[in-house]
Amino acid sequence: MKRDRELDVTRLIAGALAIVAFSIVALVVMPYVLTESTSRSDKPAAYTDAQAAGRAVYIANGCIYCHSQQPRDPSIAPDGQRGWGRPSVPDDYVRDKPHLLGTMRTGPDLFNIAVRQPSRDWHLGHLYQPRAYSPGSIMPAFPFLFAERRGALQTGDVEVLLPPGVAPTGVRIVAREEAKRLVDYLLSLDHSYPVDPSVRKRRMR
């Protein structure tokens, strides 16, 4: 009986070690092998100070909870048909710490939002009141990223050109520094540059 118990314990330990070894191979070794030969290029470019500050605003306001930045391969999902750009590859995130891949798509993927919508005015207005630009949108408005001005604009003010009836009567809406920097970051999300075909081939395996 004692010998049987010892044998069961040995088998349990061996099974646990096998599971741990498999996990290490699947989650650490294989990803390393698949990406170790990825060629580095000058793309994507390093963030400017303004873009990096906007990235911090993006994180602070929880944009990652509703928006991903990782278009998938056509064999997995029709992300390309949605206009989200080519499938992402590891090199696309070389400048990102932390990575903002996201896990939810309550809103569209933003991997290539600068290509789909390059207008700074549009982004500022959309942040102030999303439903003025995308009827039915469930994205929250961010009016606290903006200020109201009565009368003449002040030096350095960036007025938000809103559709009629959106701004409160008698005031002008101007972007605070956080809003301007956030848009700087969004306009940096352009991953339309080509990638090494061998990288994409390895990724599809």
The answer to the question of residue 44 being in a domain is no
* Residue 30 confidence (pLDDT): 78
Residues 180 and 90 in one domain: yes
- Residue 41 inside a domain? The answer is no
What pLDDT was estimated at residue 40? 52
Same domain, 53 and 32: no
The pLDDT value recorded for residue 154 is 83
Please report the pLDDT score of residue 199 as a whole number.
52
Dihedral pair phi/psi, residue 183, rounded to 5°:
-70, -35
Longest dimension (CA), the chain: 91
Q: Which domain holds residue 179?
A: 49-204
Q: 21-56 burial string, b = 16+ CB within 10 Å, else e? A: eeeeeeeeeeeeeeeeebeeeeebeebeebbebbbe
Instruction: State whether 154 and 98 are in the same domain.
Output: yes
The pLDDT of residue 204 is 43
- 13 in the same domain as 72: no
28 and 55 share one domain:
no
pLDDT score at 28: 80
Which residues does the chain have with pLDDT short of 50? Answer: 201-205
Who's near 52: CB < 8 A, 6+ residues apart? 185
- Residue 120's pLDDT is 97
Q: What is the pLDDT of residue 3?
A: 66
- Looking at residue 202, what is its pLDDT? 47
pLDDT score, position 148: 93
Q: Are residues 9 and 76 in the same domain?
A: no
User: Is the full-model pTM beyond 0.85?
Assistant: no
In 53-166 the beta strands, taken as DSSP E runs, fall at: 146-149
Structure tokens at 53: 């500050």
